[in-house]
Amino acid sequence: MAVIGAPAEHPSAPETDALRGRVLEALRDAGAVATGIAGVDVLDRARRTIEGRRDVGLHDQMAFTFRNPARSSDPCRALPSARSAVVVAVAYESERGPAPGPLMAEVARYAASDTYQELRRTLRAGVQVLRDAGHRGVVVADDNALVDRAMAERAGLGWTGKNTNLLVPGVGSWVVLGSILTDVELEPAPLENRSEITRGCGGCTRCLEACPTDALVAPGVMDASRCLSWLLQRTGSFPREFRVALGVRIYGCDDCQEVCPPSRPPRGSRDATARVEAPGDAHAGDAHAGDADAGGANAGSAPAGAYVELSDLLTLDDESLLERFGAWYIPRRDPRYLRRNALVALGNAAAGSPAPGGTVRELLRRYLADEDPLLVQHAAWAARRSGQDRLLTEGPWATHPEVLAEVSRTHPTLEETLVAPAVDRETPVNGPGQR
């Protein structure tokens, strides 16, 4: 969160209209695909939703906006003099090419490049206009100071889908969100003419059906304890019942976005090139010029970072791992969790493809002999999952408690079907779902 500029005298209505236009134009030129203006009243519905879901345990160990809902639902906590919020969506590449090799792990699209750095750069362009006019600006993006989706919905950028993501007309959910809080009062954009937003998801339930772990326990309600994206970021052992479902994911999960109709552009189109403005924007419908800032690689190609070699994750030292993957949320900044996740992905990759057997066995032996019981546990699971059961009895690790425990369990390929979540599916949807 960055505070820029100093307080100014309240300008006249014509002046604020002109300023609003300049700010939005600067944001569009910097790469925003959707912009809007919102008031800064407390986000009461979002706060009640966060508190309600936290009270019934749907947040699991997650902190983020759950840590202090009173703070994250009140824009004025970040800037006490705030009178308006300028809300922005920046698109990222939604296409993914085929994996370039058999032992590759998938990275969620938003994390394949430094999308949030691009978002902050875009927001700073709007702040510069405000500062030049003598006003203050606070950049708030992905830092737990504000519920981004609720602010974006208030600003008219889109609607919160049943997969808990904000859906922007013409772009879908392949966006990251952020706001500029400012001490100048800008006219909020009306919502009456946004028929697609009003229509919302309708009767579509594709995301609920596609979730590999049934983490979407009701429309717009996420049980974090079942969400693969969150489980990859939490401490402790990766839950056994979800290891096979993890597949070769190493960071994030895009399944609920991939099946979402508003997030699936017409064949041959470039979803990241479309620009969408909230009502009241004089530039609505302008085409975005310059794909480098808004979308990344060409459609159908693999963006840099879309895949990661599992052997890299399992052979690099701590310093190298943090240097290369430090932009990711890594629990306690401890590389052991990257290795934990990589071992699960390795077991699944080797079980489902003609992976190089020698490489897999070498990596498994390395971690069966590791000093960290957590990594031994996941290596033992990966050995059985990949059909390397004999490894567990061939080395000095054969008597390790984690190895013995794994040998005594049901084979990973024969594990029972995931148990349905014990959550009331009639839970009311009072606001945006919180990861």
Q: What is the pLDDT of residues 113-143, one digit of tens each?
A: 889 999 999 999 999 999 999 999 999 998 8
Let me know: does 58 contact 144? Beta carbons within 8 Å.
no
Q: Is the residue at 416 inside a domain? A: no
Alpha carbons 288 and 180: distance in angstroms, whole number: 21
Q: What pLDDT score does 59 carry?
A: 80
Model confidence at 14, pLDDT cuts 50, 70, 90, reads confident
The pLDDT score that the predictor gives to residue 282 is: 32
Q: Greater confidence, 4 or 311?
A: 311
> Taking the model in full, what pTM does it have?
0.82
Same domain, 271 and 387: no
> Are 343 and 269 in the same domain?
no
Strands (E), 256-382: 276-277, 307-309
Q: What is the pLDDT of residue 293?
A: 28
| Token pair recorded at residue 424 | 């009331």
Residues 215 and 269 in one domain: yes
Indicate if 244 and 327 belong to the same structural domain. Answer: no
Do 213 and 316 lie in one domain? The reply is: no
Burial of 345 (0-12, 13-18, 19+ CB in 10 A): buried
DSSP state of 168: B
Q: Which CB contacts under 8 angstroms, 24+ apart, belong to 366-375?
A: 366/314, 367/314, 367/339, 367/343, 368/392, 368/395, 368/397, 368/400, 368/403, 369/395, 369/396, 369/397, 372/336, 373/400, 373/401, 373/402, 374/236, 374/237, 374/336, 374/340, 375/336, 375/339, 375/340, 375/343
23 lies in a domain? yes
Residues 266 and 345 in one domain: no
Given the DSSP bridges, would you call strands 249-251 and 104-107 parallel, antiparallel or unpaired? Answer: parallel
- 207 is a domain residue: yes
Is pLDDT above 80 for 256?
Answer: yes
* Residue 97 and residue 231 in one domain: yes
Question: Please, what is the average pLDDT of the chain?
Answer: 83
222 phi and psi angles, rounded to 5 deg: -110, 130
Question: Residues 255, 351: one domain?
Answer: no
Question: Strand, coil or helix: what is 62?
Answer: coil
Tally of structural domains, the chain = 2
The reply to whether 282 falls in a domain is: no
Same domain, 271 and 317: no
Is residue 299 assigned to a domain? no
**pLDDT tens digits, residue range 274-329?**
333 443 333 322 222 222 222 333 333 333 489 999 999 999 999 999 999 988 98
Per-residue pLDDT tens over the stretch 27-72: 999 999 999 999 999 999 999 988 888 888 888 777 777 778 888 9
- How far is the C-alpha of 390 from the C-alpha of 197, rounded, in Å? 56
Yes or no: say if 252 and 169 are a contact pair by the CB < 8 Å rule. Answer: no
Active-site annotation, residues: 142
Read off the pLDDT of residues 73-107 as tens digits, 9 standing for 90 and up. Answer: 999 999 999 999 999 999 998 888 888 888 999 99
* Domain extent at residue 312: 307-407
Task: Determine, yes or no, domain membership for 336.
Answer: yes
Q: How confident is the model at residue 10 (pLDDT cuts 50, 70, 90)?
A: low
pLDDT over threshold 70, residue 429: no
Yes or no: say if 310 and 105 are a contact pair by the CB < 8 Å rule.
yes
Q: Are residues 15 and 79 in the same domain?
A: yes
Q: What is the pLDDT of residue 410?
A: 81
Residues 67 and 150 in one domain: yes
Based on the domain organization, do 91 and 147 belong to the same domain?
Answer: yes
Of 106, 78, 122, which is closest to residue 293 (Cα–Cα)?
122
What percent of the chain stands above pLDDT 90?
A: 63
Share of the chain above pLDDT 70, in %: 81
8-state DSSP, 307: E
pLDDT tens profile 187-222: 876 654 367 788 889 999 999 999 999 999 999 999
434 confidence band (pLDDT: 50, 70, 90): very low
Domain-terminating residue out of 277, 293, 318: 277
